[in-house]
Amino acid sequence: MSSNLKNPAREAILSRINMALLPTPESQPEDHIATSWSAIPRTFRHDTQASPQDVLHLLIDRLHDYDAQVLTCTPSGITESIAKMLTARGVRKLLLPAGFPEDILPQGFEYIPDGREGESLTAAQLDATDGVITLSTLAIAETGTLVLQNVPGQGRRAASLVPDYHLCLVNAADVKATVPEAVAALQPTAALPTTFISGPSATADIEMTRIKGVHGPRFLDVILISSE
């Protein structure tokens, strides 16, 4: 077979590589970007027929699979639930992101503010805390994922990754069934730094020895807040 014959698949791959290697997206022809975007297959499942209650149960199951502990409560029970989680984990000194609603915090614990008056704690100071408590933007049931953004109550990325323990508050109304639903809901704030958290941090070496806490907290707990 002649080596001069063109291979359509090869040509397509090389063309896409060449376009991807252009300095910036702005330097790509606008019509090519639009064509490439519209050509992406979107036959994946966007939503679910499951009931809201089933979606919440799925999220809880996924979180349990990740060894995360979950408490459900109504707004009136948030303070008590926080105290239960912290006591069970032996957490006494908790990092508090700027803008976190302090009126729901239980007494008897030490809270270390981060980001107040424009001053953020150093990595060493973050590491010196027992853990961090945050709000969340949303959660994804099918993957057991929590989504945090750099907004009041959720804090900067380092605040949720450096401490060894993370307690995250999730509103049941903000739980999305699927990843496409979540991505659509995040579009208005897509420019914000966003962190996707699926369970405590864990990795494995070449011998498949699982180690927790390499890239983030070793322990994760969730309080799921329902309106009912």
Q: What is the pLDDT of residue 41?
A: 79
pLDDT band at 29 (very low <50, low <70, confident <90, very high): low
Q: What is the pLDDT of residue 1?
A: 46
Q: Which of 4-13, 23-32, 121-130, 176-185 has the lowest mean pLDDT?
A: 23-32
Nearest to 197 by CA among 158, 152, 161: 161
> Measured between alpha carbons, how far is 89 from 68 in angstroms, rounded to an integer?
12
Secondary element (H or E) of residue 221: strand 219-225
> Measured between alpha carbons, how far is 197 from 59 in angstroms, rounded to an integer?
13
Task: Work out the percent of the chain whose per-residue pLDDT is above 90.
Answer: 62
Q: What is the pLDDT of residue 28?
A: 58
**pTM of structure:** 0.80
Nearest to 223 by CA among 91, 72, 95: 72
Average pLDDT for the chain: 88
Q: What is the pLDDT of residue 7?
A: 82
pLDDT band at 89 (very low <50, low <70, confident <90, very high): very high
CATH number 3.40.50.10420 given to 54-202+209-225: yes
Secondary element (H or E) of residue 184: helix 179-186
**For 162-204, what is each residue's pLDDT tens digit?**
999 999 999 999 999 999 999 999 999 999 999 999 988 777 7
